[in-house]
Amino acid sequence: MAKVHPGATLTPHFRDFLPPWVARQPWYRGNGSPSLRPVGYFRFEDPAGDAGIETHLIADGPVLYQLPMTYRGTPAPEGGPMAPPVLITTAEHSVLGTRWIYDGEADPVWRSELLRLVRSNGISDPSSKRGVGPAEARGHLLIAGDLAAGPVAIELSRVVTPGRPAEQPGITGLMMGTWHPDGPGAAAATGCLAVVRTMT
């Protein structure tokens, strides 16, 4: 398990490197550099302990974005059937030293742990970050056994909205999320963070 270090600092900070990175992404709905506001965080556990896996839910005005990230002590391996993970930045962690920070969507360890969450109907780990309301991800396996029967596709909701997706053929699992859009103590919202489909 990747150990959390409360009080540790990261240089550059997320507020410095995330806005320009988000502005370059095809799913970004704004113009220019976004003004990002943290809404919530949750974590997955890497059983091997090689990577930290954390998702940031961040708002730019009324739009809520989902940014899964993996933190590694060495560059991610580039071999395998998937495209190599996309490097967001390198940063200096005050305890762990240099960290390579990747977009989690293309990182095999993020994919593996999301599927584990769905397969086990599990719940994400909380984050140690303060100043926002609690957030979590919860897996929902809709068709027992299908995730192990063959290849699957994960459709990540980069723009997150409240509500449950409509039922469609081929959906074998969901990752639903809960967050507090107006801060700690305010009402919670729930929406779909990812859809898992069987590939035919």
Range of weakest confidence among 22-31, 39-48, 128-137, 146-155: 146-155
pLDDT band at 1 (very low <50, low <70, confident <90, very high): very low
Cα separation, 145 vs 143, in Å, equals: 6
pLDDT value for 148: 58
Residue-wise pLDDT for 168-198, tens only, equals 888 999 999 999 999 888 999 999 999 999 8
pLDDT value for 149: 55
Burial track 75-106 (b if 16+ CB lie within 10 A, e otherwise): ebeeeeeeeebeebbebebeeeeebbbbbbbb
* Residue 166 token pair: 């409509």
Contacts of 111 (CB under 8 A, 6+ apart): 82, 154
Question: What's the whole-number mean pLDDT along residues 109-128?
Answer: 93
pTM: 0.91
**Best CA proximity match to 78, nearest among 107, 120, 99:** 107
As beta bridge partners, residue 69 has 54, 103
Burial class (CB in 10 A: 0-12, 13-18, 19+), 74: exposed
More confident position, 200 or 136 = 136
Cα separation, 122 vs 120, in Å, equals: 5
Residue-wise pLDDT for 63-92, tens only, equals 999 999 999 999 988 765 566 779 999 999
Please determine, for residue 159, whether its predicted confidence score (pLDDT) is greater than 70: yes
Q: For the chain, give the mean pLDDT.
A: 89
Residue-wise pLDDT for 4-53, tens only, equals 666 678 899 999 999 999 999 999 999 999 999 999 999 999 998 889 99
